[in-house]
């Protein structure tokens, strides 16, 4: 296990600090006595804050001088990510890939001692659903989906960045799907769209759960992911870490949570209506992302437990139950990404085009 450093004044910069993961990460950091200041970077400044946190508005893909934001930092935690507009992959590529590279380059120019990058299980190449992969599993993603393609590209970039910058400690976090109650409204907008009725996410109201081959995934409470980021920021670890909670989520587990029964279902029976809804602008999530999910490997989290001393406090089933409660209640936080209700409501989502930038 890596021992935590206890500097007198740990200064941390967090990109994407107003989102699902970012709000939890800055909360975890603010409660640590060895962290004295946190600079949260976001495209839109939120009304929410916490102790030790200052905000700065910045667009990582557009700002002319990122160096001024990372100068003097002991650690940069890079979480910023744009999921939508999924119908405009050029925009997400510019924000996610080019914005990330510009951030990494600023870290190198300013000699920041540590960089922690939010990679993902989505960076992994297709893998097994009946065993667990460790961090050496190939990270080539699934090429058809923008999210997995972009995460994999940044893995390749960091493969060259690390040997070129030996003085920078680089950590790559690869979490499973991340949920918390307060992320429910945002994730409904990003992936389900305005036609999804959150009130239906109640045990007993959904009678069946499709049992689709390959639909076995892992989940994690965002607060547990945030604790791993905190441990990595304060420690001396480097390299990649898989993050996930137990148990693995599949049709029988989800059916138990929902009080439903499972029905064996071929892949096409789910993909075809999803593709039709996508083309009709009824949902924002692409069928290519569904294809990627079916191919994601299950991850072994042994390295994070051994070297970070990390253990998730929430079981994945409790995470999903909390998230479903958030869907029913329209939960959120007073930050632009997590706001419970966007201006104009669901009609605004429809008018601006489902799958376009909100």
Both tokens assigned to 127: 């893998």
* Inter-helix orientation angle 287-295/146-164, to 10°: 60
How far apart CA 235 and CA 1 sit, in angstroms, is 9
Domain ranges across the chain = 10-180+218-247+297-314
| pLDDT at residue 197 in the model | 85
Q: Which CATH entry fits the domain spanning 10-180+218-247+297-314: 3.40.50.300, 3.30.300.30, 3.40.50.720, 3.40.1160.10?
A: 3.40.50.720
Rg (CA), the chain: 20
The model's pLDDT over 288-346, given as tens digits with 9 standing for 90+, comes to 999 999 999 999 999 999 999 999 999 999 999 999 999 999 999 999 999 998 887 77
Cβ atoms of 79 and 17 within 8 Å: the answer is yes
The pLDDT confidence band at residue 4, using thresholds 50, 70 and 90, is very low
The pLDDT confidence band at residue 266, using thresholds 50, 70 and 90, is very high
| pLDDT at residue 210 in the model | 95
The model's pLDDT over 119-171, given as tens digits with 9 standing for 90+, comes to 999 999 999 999 999 999 999 999 999 999 999 999 999 999 999 999 999 99
The pLDDT confidence band at residue 9, using thresholds 50, 70 and 90, is confident
Give the burial class of 173: count Cβ atoms within 10 A of its Cβ; 0-12 exposed, 13-18 middle, 19 or more buried.
buried
Phi, psi dihedrals of residue 181, rounded to the nearest 5° = -55, -45
Peptide bond into 72 cis (omega under 30): no
DSSP readout, 110-173? HT-SEEEEE--GGGSPS--SSSEE-TTS-----TTSHHHHHHHHHHHHHHHHHHH-TTSEEEEE
| pLDDT at residue 5 in the model | 47
- Bridge partners of 212, per DSSP, are 265
Residue 83 has, within 13 A of its CA and on its CB side, a CA count of 21
Give the burial class of 318: count Cβ atoms within 10 A of its Cβ; 0-12 exposed, 13-18 middle, 19 or more buried.
middle
């Amino acid at each position: 296990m890596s021992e935590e450093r206890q500097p007198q004044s740990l200064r941390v910069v967090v990109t994407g600090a107003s989102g699902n993961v970012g709000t939890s990460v800055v909360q975890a950091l603010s409660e640590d006595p060895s962290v004295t200041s946190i600079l949260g970077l976001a495209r839109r400044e939120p009304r929410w804050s916490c102790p030790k946190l200052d905000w700065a508005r910045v667009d990582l893909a557009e700002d002319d001088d990122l160096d001024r934001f990372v100068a003097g930092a002991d650690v940069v935690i890079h979480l910023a990510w744009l999921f939508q507009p999924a119908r405009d992959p050029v925009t997400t590529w510019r924000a996610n890939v080019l914005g990330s590279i510009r951030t990494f380059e600023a870290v190198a120019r300013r000699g920041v001692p540590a960089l922690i990058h939010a990679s993902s299980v989505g960076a992994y190449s297709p893998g097994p659903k009946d065993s667990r992969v460790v961090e050496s599993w190939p990270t080539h993603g699934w090429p058809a989906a923008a999210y997995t393609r972009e995460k994999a590209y940044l893995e390749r970039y960091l493969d060259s960045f690390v040997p070129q910058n030996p003085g920078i400690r680089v950590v790559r976090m690869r979490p499973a799907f991340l949920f918390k109650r307060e992320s429910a409204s945002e994730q409904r907008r990003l992936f389900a769209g305005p036609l999804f009725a959150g009130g239906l996410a109640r045990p007993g109201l959904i009678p069946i759960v499709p049992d689709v081959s390959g639909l076995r995934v892992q989940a994690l409470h965002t607060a547990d992911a945030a604790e791993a980021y905190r441990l990595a920021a304060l420690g001396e670890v480097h390299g990649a870490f898989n993050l996930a909670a137990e148990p693995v989520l599949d049709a029988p587990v989800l059916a138990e949570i929902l009080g439903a029964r499972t029905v064996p279902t071929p892949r096409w029976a789910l993909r075809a209506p999803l593709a039709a809804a996508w083309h009709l602008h009824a949902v924002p999530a692409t069928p290519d992302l569904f294809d990627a999910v079916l191919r994601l490997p299950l991850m072994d989290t042994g390295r994070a437990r051994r070297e970070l001393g990390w253990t998730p406090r929430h079981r994945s089933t409790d995470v999903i139950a909390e998230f479903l409660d958030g869907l029913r209640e329209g939960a959120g936080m007073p930050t632009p990404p997590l706001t419970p209700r966007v201006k104009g409501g669901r009609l605004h989502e429809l008018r601006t085009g489902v799958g376009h930038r909100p």
